[in-house]
Structure 1
Amino acid sequence: MENVEESLELHDKYQFEVKFTYPLDKTVPYTEYNVETFMFIPNNLCVNHTTYTKDDFYSDMQKYIRLKTPTMLLKNILNDDKSPLKALKEAMKTLVSEPNNELKMLDYKYHLKMFCSIFKSALRDETIFAEKLNDKEDAEDYIKSIIDSTEDIVKKFRDLKDIIHVPGLENKCYALYLFADEFVSLSLDKYRYRMIFNLDKAEVKNKKKIRSELIDLLSAEIEYRKSARYNSCPDEKSDNEELIYRESTLKKLMGSVLFLKTQTMREGIYIEQIVMGLAAGLAMAFATAVAFLSQSKLENFTFSLFMIFVIAYIFKDRMKELTRIFFHRKIQKRLYDRKTNIYNSLNQKIGFCKERFAFFKEKDIPELIKKIRNKDYITELDNGYIGEDIIYSKRFIKILSKKCKNLLDDFNVDGINDIIRFNIRNFLGKMDNPTRPLFMPIEGDIKKIKGGRVYHLNMIIKYGMINKQDIYRKFRIILSRNGIKRIKEIPLTI
C-alpha cells in the first residue's frame, strides 16, 4: 500500500459505512493522513447549525479502528511458510504440553482468531475476484479452485479438534475452538450463497453443474452444524433470530484480535480555560481602571460614584462574555473538537485521530470542491434558489509507525482500517411521505400509479497522506423518509 484507500457502501436502511485504510510504513517514525468530508444537504431538510449540533453529529457516528486483515490466498493458508493453520496447530500442541501456562493460552486464542479472520478475508477476496472474471472457462476454473481449497482448509482445521479436545485443558479452550468451527461454517455458507447468486447472473461454463455442487455443499454444511449441535441452522418456519445473533456475536469474537483500543477526549480543554481566564482578566482590568479613575475624580463616596461602579460592573460582565465568545470563535477555527488516542494490546500509544465538525457557507468552501459539486439547474430549483446546508468534517490521523513494528509481527499487516458508520435518521424528520399517487392515461382510461419522493445528499471526500497528492471522490446518497434507497458514485468531471 502506497496511499490511503477508501470505500463507501450501504450498511443498512439508515446507515452508510465509510472505510479508510491507512498504509503502515514501519520504516519511518510516523505517518500522517488527512480526511475532509463535505456533505451537501438539501435546504428543505432543515439540517443546519441551529437544528443539528456538534453533539448530534458525533452521536450519529459509530467508529471502529482495527488492523487490516493480513492478505493471503486460500492455497497459501495451507502451504505458505506463514500459514495461519500451521501456526494454530503448533500453538495447540504447545498449549496441550503446558496447559497451565497463561502465555500459551493467549497464544492459542490469538492464532485461532487470526486463522478465522484470514480465512474469511481470503474467501471473500477470492469470491469477489471470481465475480470479475470475464472469460467463462477462467471463471469456472477459479470457482472450482475456491471450492477445492476451502474444502481442504476446513478438513485440516477440523482435524485439529483431536489435538485440543483432551483431558487436563480448561473447557473454555475447547469451547473457543467450537465457536471458531461454527464461525468457519457460517462463513462458508455466506460466500457459497454469494457464488450461487452471481452464477445466476453470469455466463459461466458448466453453470448448472457448479450451482448444483455448491447447493450440495451448503446442505452438507447445515447438516454438519446440526450434528455438532450448533444453534445456527436456518429454518424456513422460524424467524431465525438465534442464527443472526450467533453469526453477529461470532464475527465480533473472531475479529476482536484485529481491533485496537481507543480512548476519546475533548480537544483544547486547557486552551479554552486559558482563553476564558484571559477574557475575565481583561474585563477585570477594565472595571478596576474605571474604579481608580472615578475615585481620583470623586474624592467622597457619592451617588454618582455608586452609579459609576454599577455601570462599570455591568460593562465588565458583558465585556467578559463578549471577549470570551470572540476568542472562542477564533480558536475554534484552529482547534479540533475531539482527540482519539489509539493503543495496542500492551496499552502502548501507537497514534491518534483528531476530529472537527462545522457548518460551512458556500462562499467558504474551496474552489475545487465547488467545481466537483457542480450543481445542476434542477438542484437549484429543488433548493429554492437559497443553496444547501454544508456539513464539513475533518480528521487528522497520525500513526507512530515505529511503535507498530511488533503488531502481529508473524503476519504481514500493512495497514490500519478506520471504519465509520453514519446514521441519517436525524435527516429524515422534515421529509415528505416516501410515495404519492400519480396518474397516467392507459388504453383510453386514467390509471393510478405510484411515485417515489427522494432527496439527494451529495458528499465529496478528500483524503490522502501529508505531502502527497490528495484524492477526491464524489458520492450521491439517495434518501426517502424510509431511509437510504441507494448510493451512487459520481464520476469527477474536472
Structure 2
Amino acid sequence: MIDVRVHSSRHLETKITYPISEHTSYDRDVNYYIFTPAQLHVSAGFISDEAMLRKFQAHARYSSPEITLDELLDKGNRTSPLVLLESYTQQRVERSGDVADTIFMHELQTLSNSFRHESGIILSECRELAKENKLDELRGLLQDWYKETGYAMERFRALLKMMRVHYPTGNRMVTAFEWADEAISLVVESTSLEMYLSLEPLFGELQESAYNLLRHSRAELGYRREQKYESVVSKGNRYSTEAVAYRSGVLKKWTQSVLYLTPVHSKAPQRVAGVLAGTAAAIAMTFATLAAIFAETFFLKNSMQWALLVILAYVFKDRIKEGLRALFSRVVPRLLADQISSFISPRTGKRLSRTKVVIHIKKASDMPPEIQD
C-alpha cells in the first residue's frame, strides 16, 4: 500500500513500507506516472532527465518500534530499550563495562520512539472505545495508562538521576537523557490531554478517569517546569507558545533521527556514462583519422579537394560523437539506472536496501493504455 501525502503545491511525498527479510533479498518495482499541464512545457525538449532527477529524492527509515508498555516494562525482556538502558547505566556507573555513547543515544531515541508509537495506538483505542461507549474496557485501558506510564517514567528518571550524579552538568550523556526525558514527558502529557478530550461525551460516567487523565497531564507539565525544560509555556511571554512548538519539533526530529538510514549514492551510472562518452569520442575520432588518411592518399595536401574532405570529415566527426552520446545516454538507464542509492544502517553499518531510479519523459499518448484509461 502506498501512502500519498501532499505537503504543499510543490512537495508531494509517497511512503511505502517494506519488510526486512531475514534470509533472502527481494525486488519491488514501483512505477510513478506524473502528468503535467501542457502549459508547463515539461517535456524532453525543455528539460533533461538529469534536471528532472534532481527534483526527486529517495529516503529510507525504520518503522517506529512496535513494543507495548507491558513489554517495555518487563525486566526479563532483553529487547526493551528501558531494560537495556538500565543495564548500560549500571555498567557505566559501576565501570564494569564499556558501552559506547552512541549505543546509549540509540537506545534513548528508541525508547522515546517506542513511547510515541505506543501512545498513538492507545489514544486511537481510547477514542474507539469512547465512540462505542464501552465504559468498562475504557476504564481498564485508562487505569493501565496511568499505572504503566507512571512506572516507566519513574524507572527512567531514576536512571537520569544516576547519570546526573555520575557526570557533571552539561555532559553530552546527561543532555541526551534530559532530551529523552523531555520528549517522553511531552508525549505523555499530550496523549493524556487528548484522551481527556475524547471522554467529553462520557464525563458523567467517567468523571474519575477523566480527572486522573487531567491530573496526569498537568503532573508532566509541572515536572518539566520544575526541571526547567524549554518545552513549557511561560506567563507573560507571547512567543512562548511558538517556542514550545518549535522545541517539540526539535525533540521529535532528534528522537526519530535514529530511524533514518544513511544514503550512499553510487557513482556507477556516471562512470559508465563517462566510459560510453569516451567510446563515442573514440569512434568519431577514428572516422576523422581515416578520412584524413584517405585525403592524404588520394589528394594533394592543401588542395581544394583535400580541404573540403577534411572539413566534411570534421563535421561528420562532431555529429557522430553527439549522436552516439545521445544514443548511449538512453542506453545507460536500461543497463543500470539514472540513480543508484544504497541505504546503510547507522548503527551496524550494514547495507539494508538499494534503490534504482529511472526517469522517462514521454508524451501522454505514449503511455500504456491501462494508464491512459
Could you say which TM-score interval applies, normalised by the shorter chain?
0.7 to 0.9
How many residue pairs align between the two structures?
364
Given candidates 346, 353, 358, the residue that maps to 2:360 is 358
Q: Are the aligned partners of 1:77 and 1:84 in contact in 2 as well (CA < 8 Å)?
A: yes
Please list every run of 5 or more consecutive structure 1 residues that lacks an aligned counterpart in the other structure: 372-494
Which residue of structure 2 aligns with residue 231 of structure 1? 230
Deviations 1:59-83 (A, max 9, x none): 5445542222331112221126233
Contact 2:333 2:358 in 1 (8 A): no
| Preserved CA contact (<8 Å) 1:341 1:353 | yes
The answer to whether the 8 A contact 1:96-1:169 is kept is no
CA 1:45/1:310 → structure 2, altered by over 3 Å: closer, same or farther?
closer
Give the whole-Å Cα distance in 1 for the aligned partners of 2:42 and 2:198.
40
Q: Which residue of 2 aligns with 1:180?
A: 180
TM-score of the superposed pair, with normalisation by structure 1: 0.64
> Cα deviations across residues 21-79 of structure 1 (Å, max 9, x unaligned)?
21112122x23222222223344455444566555555544554222233111222112
Cα–Cα, structure 1 residues 293 and 203, in superposed 2: closer, same or farther, change >3 Å? farther
Is the Cα–Cα contact under 8 Å of residues 266 and 339 in structure 2 kept in the other structure?
Answer: yes
Matched, 1:88 2:90: no
Query: Relative to 1, partners in 2 of residues 1:278 and 1:168: Cα closer, same or farther, differing over 3 Å?
Result: closer
Correspondence list, 1:185-264, <5 A: 185-196=185-196, 198-199=198-199, 206=205, 210-235=209-234, 237-239=237-239, 240-264=241-265
Give, in whole Å, the separation in 1 of the partners of 2:143 and 2:35: 46
Query: How far apart, CA to CA, are the structure 2 residues paired with 1:27 and 1:122?
Result: 29
The 2-side partners of 1:195 and 1:360 are apart by: 51
Task: Tell me the C-alpha RMSD between the 2 structures.
Answer: 3.2
Please state which structure has a larger fraction of its residues in strand: 1
Aligned match of 1:123: 119
Q: TM-score, normalised by structure 2?
A: 0.83
Once the two structures are overlaid, the 10-residue window that deviates more, 317-326 or 202-211, is 202-211
Q: CA deviation at 1:181?
A: 0.8
Aligned pairs for 1:301-450 (under 5 A) are: 301-344=302-345, 345-371=347-373
Aligned CA distance change for structure 1 residues 54 and 193 (closer, same or farther; 3 Å) = farther
Alpha-carbon distance in 2 for matches of 1:165, 1:350 = 37
**Structure 1 residues 289 and 167 mapped into 2: Cα distance closer, same or farther (>3 Å)?**
closer
Q: How far off is 1:95 after superposition? A: 0.8
CA contact (8 A) 1:136 1:204 kept: no
Residue matched to 1:77 = 72
Which residue of structure 1 aligns with residue 299 of structure 2?
Answer: 298
| Paired residue type of 1:282 | I
Distance (Å, rounded) in 2 between the aligned partners of 1:181 and 1:54: 47
- Cα 1:311–1:53 shift into 2, 3 Å: closer
Distance 1:260 1:304 in 2: 65
Note if 1:160 corresponds to 2:159.
yes
Q: What secondary structure sits across from 1:340 in the alignment?
A: strand
Q: Distance in 1 between matches of 2:359 and 2:167?
A: 55
Matches within 5 A, 1:454-465: none
Aligned residue for 1:339, secondary structure, equals strand
- The residue that corresponds to 2:26 in the other structure is 31
- SS of equivalent to 1:360: coil
Aligned residue runs from structure 1 range 248-287, under 5 A: 248-287=249-288
Query: Distance in 1 between the 2:199 and 2:46 partners?
Result: 48
Structure richer in helix, relative to its length = 2
The letter of the residue matching 1:317 is D
The residue identity in structure 2 corresponding to 1:354 is: K
1:173 aligned counterpart, secondary structure:
helix
In the TM superposition, what is the alpha-carbon distance from 1:103 to its structure 2 partner?
Answer: 2.8
Q: Tell me the distance in 2 between the aligned counterparts of 1:174 and 1:153.
A: 18
366 and 324 in structure 1: CA distance in 2 versus 1, 3 angstrom threshold: same
Q: Does 1:108 align with 2:91?
A: no
Amino acid at match of 1:161: L
Change (3 A) 1:251 1:301: same
Q: Kindly state the Cα deviation for residue 325 of structure 1 after the two structures are TM-superposed.
A: 1.5
Q: SS state of the match for residue 181, structure 2?
A: helix
| Kept in 1: contact 2:224–2:232 (CA 8 A) | yes
One-letter identity of the residue aligned with 1:91: Y
Structure 2, unpaired ranges of 5+: none
Residues 32 and 228 of structure 1, relative CA distance in 2, 3 Å threshold: same
